[in-house]
Structures are given as structure tokens and as C-alpha cells.
Amino acid sequence: MLNRSILIGRLTRDPELRYTPAGVAVTQFTLAVDRPFTSNGEKEADFIPVVTWRQTAEACANFLRKGRLCAVEGRIQVRNYENSEGKRVYVTEVIADNVRFLERGEQQESTQSRDEGKQIDIADDDLPF
Amino acid sequence: MLNRSILIGRLTRDPELRYTPAGVAVTQFTLAVDRPFTSNGEKEADFIPVVTWRQTAEACANFLRKGRLCAVEGRIQVRNYENSEGKRVYVTEVIADNVRFLERGEQQESTQSRDEGKQIDIADDDLPF
Amino acid sequence: MLNRSILIGRLTRDPELRYTPAGVAVTQFTLAVDRPFTSNGEKEADFIPVVTWRQTAEACANFLRKGRLCAVEGRIQVRNYENSEGKRVYVTEVIADNVRFLERGEQQESTQSRDEGKQIDIADDDLPF
Amino acid sequence: MLNRSILIGRLTRDPELRYTPAGVAVTQFTLAVDRPFTSNGEKEADFIPVVTWRQTAEACANFLRKGRLCAVEGRIQVRNYENSEGKRVYVTEVIADNVRFLERGEQQESTQSRDEGKQIDIADDDLPF
DNA sequence: TTTT
DNA sequence: TTTT
């Protein structure tokens, strides 16, 4: 009924922009979100996959790069599919409708991007990943 | 740097309470979070695993049941481990520090529960799951 | 750059539906949000004004009543105006774009409402309050 | 029952650090949070007062300055008091338990600060403002 | 002016 | 493996 996540972190790699067969832009990247207290020497960040659509996707592809800091607002989505060995695999991603660029790049002008679109017309097998 | 999720949904099953070797209470359940717009007949909920610790864990085990509505506040955690076939498996869960019971059970008195504790002293292999 | 609030609470009174001169629906209500720990006998809730627009406004007016529990997602807005004595008064409200009805009323069917609209065309003096 | 706000914005002035009679640190500042779409030439930011306590208060006083970008996580609090003319005045603030410094200052080392404390022992008239 |  |  309500599903809202807000993350601030850094991109682990350059974002990947693809297009669905219907021509809709989709950008994926992974955010490294440092955990607050890691008194022990253990794992200290969560690596959270983020997916953006349409204008937001294109803005992210244009303005975000590996290592860049950004804030992401969206919802947790859990997809599942059968892999080549016939096992069900669960994929959890944050579908972001709002991304804020918190560091200025070289040619960067705008620093915000909000997806106001609906995703109703996009079938699962339309996904490029 | 910042990692905050808020979910409202219903438990898909009764919660499971376990204890770490060190005696710390851990409760797990899955929330079915209905998506807002599902104009097509496709999948219409995300099933999101939730983990709670200590007092919150015990309150959830006491007061939550399959089908019950609740609100959960926490952070997204991505664990990974090597499975029996030597493949790396990623598990994404919401570690909740605040759970609100939005429906009253039979013998239920209190309807809130907030975990104020630190998790620093709990090793990964302490996990009962 | 980012402004997101999520509240769960009860309406202190019935919601008030009005229309701007341009015919846009606006509903206002106040949420009583109980504070978690009030060990002393002091004040124990925050009373937070909420404003909704368009479809969400009409759904709230239809389905919400005094005492009803709901979840609200939106942004904090701080307006200010000069009062009759020439003093500047600040008004803080949560402008909600998503409201979930957490209790079922009598004739209630749907229990969700999300405002997807833009507010760009609505002037400040269009406000009915 | 649930009250969570996340803001990203810039300080309108240097933060103000004070101490309660009991010696507890309190820091106040105001965040200018730009609104996403302001196609018209109207008001384009919300100015939101933020209050932090204890360690977070001291870290904010040390590391934040006018114009600096930061992220704030907390709850909306509505206080009211009677002013000198006998009128009731409402003050809305975000009580932050988590502040992230998104820009590095000169001598700045740490860039995070989370208040884990309880506020139960602090009376209202303990407030320095 | 406040809700269960 | 999924809830109303």
C-alpha cells in the first residue's frame, strides 16, 4: 500500500542506458550506501541496484558517473524469474522516480530529474535486462 | 550515507522468531505491498522480506499474524553468501527499527515497537538464517 | 532539493473540501500523530496540517472522517502571509500527493488515492484558505 | 504513529548552538529546500527550521555553515506557545536524528552524525529558544 | 481548536 | 512459497 525508499550514495560504476523495444529509456546503476556505524572491520556498505525510466533515465545517463554522489527516491520492487538452471531468482531494485545529483560534473547544467510518467504500458518482457 | 525505507503492507505468513547464539531475538516476515496502479492483470504486489531485532522482534512475534496490516521503517540491507553450488546469492531485506501495528489483534495491547539498539556486536554467522 | 514526509495518524476533525476559483479541488485536514515515547505526562501528539489536491482531495473528502487512521506522503511547505495586524505569519503544511486509508468506512470501496498532477497553474491567491 | 521526514537543502545561515540549563547541546538552523518545478517566477524554496540535539547538535555546529548542502532525517514537531500579545503561536520544526554533510568543509573530517539518544528527560522549559 |  |  505504501512503498517509499530514499537513498544517498555513490555510483559503483557508470550508469547503463538502454531502450525497451517500444523505445522507452531505462537506466540502471548501483548505489554504494555506506552504513552509519561499522565499529568492526566488516562489510560497511550496501550495494543497491537502482532503475530509472524515461527523462530521469536520460538525465542520469548524461550527468551521473562512477563515484558521483546522488540521492534517489523511489520504491522497492522485487522481480523474479527462472534462470537457465530452472531455479527461481529474486531481484530487488529501487525503481527511482526522483534523482538528485549532489555533485556537479564538468558539462553539467541541471541537477534534478523527476519521473512523472506511468509505467502501465511497459510489459515485463519489454525490459532490456 | 542515507538509507531509509517506509513500507505499509500485509504479512504473507506468521512471523518467525529465532534467537542468535548470543541470545538476541530476531524476527523475520514478508510484507506484501500492493502496487498503486495495475491497470493490466499482471503482478500487483511486491513481497519484501523484513527483519527486526530485539524488543521489536519480540513485539512483532507477539502481535503480528498472517494477513495483518503494518507499517515498517528501516533500511535496505543487501547480504550475499555462497550457496551449496558455489554460486553467490544476494539477499535483500529491510532491517526495520520501527514497526507500527495498524490492526488490532485479539489480546493485543500495545501497538508500537521501536528498536533503539545497536547491531554492532552481532556477527554475520550469528544469524539464525 | 529533496523534501519528503511520511505520516501515519488520525484526523482530528472531518476533512474540509473546497474549490479554487479555477475549480480545482483542495482538501485540508489535520493529522494527530502520536509520539512514540512520552514517559512524562506531557504533550504526546503532533497536530500536522495536511493539504491535498484534485482527485486525492476528493477521495479524502469522500472516505476520511474524524478519528480515521491514514497514511500520508508528501512534502513540507512553508507559506507566509501578512495578517490583519501587519505581522508576517508562517504556515507549515504537508502537501500530500499520496494518501492511504488504513481503516475501512461504511460505504468505502477504494482505499487509495495518489495525486499525479502538477500544481504549476494554480496561483497562491487561488487558494481558498 | 509514524512521522518521518527527509530533506536535502542548504543552510540559510550559520547554525546556532545553545545549551539547555541541564547542559544538553541543541543546534538550530534553517534549510532552504528548492522546489522541483517552478515554471512561474514565484517562490521556489521552502525554508524549513531544523533542530538537532546532543552529538548531532555539536557535529552540525562544527561542520555546517551558511550555504552548505546537507541531508536531514527526522520528525515534524509542532510546538505552540502564547506570545507577548497573548496570542497562540505555532512553530513547526523538523527534529533531526540524522544529518549528513554533503559538502566537505575546510577542516572537516567526519561527515555524519546520528542522534541515538532519548529526549525524555528534557523539559519544555529547558529549551533555549 | 485537536485523534484512538 | 505469498497478503486483503
Q: What is the CA radius of gyration of chain D?
A: 15
pLDDT band at D112 (very low <50, low <70, confident <90, very high): confident
pTM of the model: 0.91
- Interval A75-81 mean pLDDT: 94
Per-window interface: C 69-88 vs A, CB < 8 A: 71, 73
Interchain contact, A2 vs C6, CB within 8 Å: yes
Q: Is B120 on the interface with D (CB under 8 A)?
A: no
**pLDDT tens digits for range C9-24:** 999 999 999 999 999 9
Per-window interface: D 40-59 vs B, CB < 8 A: none
* pLDDT greater than 70 at residue A97: yes
Task: Give contacts of C116 with chain A, Cβ < 8 Å.
Answer: 116, 118
* pLDDT greater than 70 at residue C104: yes
Question: Domain C5-36+43-112 falls in which CATH fold?
Answer: OB fold (Dihydrolipoamide Acetyltransferase, E2P) (2.40.50)
Cell of residue B7, nine digits: 513500507
Task: Give contacts of D114 with chain A, Cβ < 8 Å.
Answer: 36-37
Give the list of residues 6+ apart from residue A115 with CB closer than 8 angstroms, or none: A52, A53, A54, A55, A56, A57, A96, A97, A98
8 A C-beta contact, residue D58 and residue D44? no
Task: Give contacts of A6 with chain D, Cβ < 8 Å.
Answer: 6
| Touching partners of C (3+ C-beta pairs < 8 Å) | A, B, D
The tens place of each residue's pLDDT in chain B, 129 residues long, gives: 999 999 999 999 999 999 999 999 999 999 999 998 766 666 689 999 999 999 999 999 999 999 999 999 999 999 988 888 888 889 999 999 999 999 987 655 556 788 877 644 444 444 555
Residues in B 30-89 whose C-beta is less than 7 A from nucleic strand F are 30, 32, 34, 44-45, 47, 66-67
8 A C-beta contact, residue A64 and residue A52? no
Closest CB from C2, C9, C118 relative to D1: C9
**pLDDT tens digits for range D37-94:** 766 767 689 999 999 999 999 999 999 999 999 999 999 999 988 888 888 889 999 9
**pLDDT tens digits for range C39-58:** 666 668 999 999 999 999 99
Q: What is the pLDDT of residue C36?
A: 85
**pLDDT tens digits for range C106-117:** 655 556 788 877
Looking across all nucleic acid strands, the nucleotide with the smallest C1' to CA distance from residue C48 is E2
8 A C-beta contact, residue B69 and residue C100? no
Looking across all nucleic acid strands, the nucleotide with the smallest C1' to CA distance from residue A82 is F1
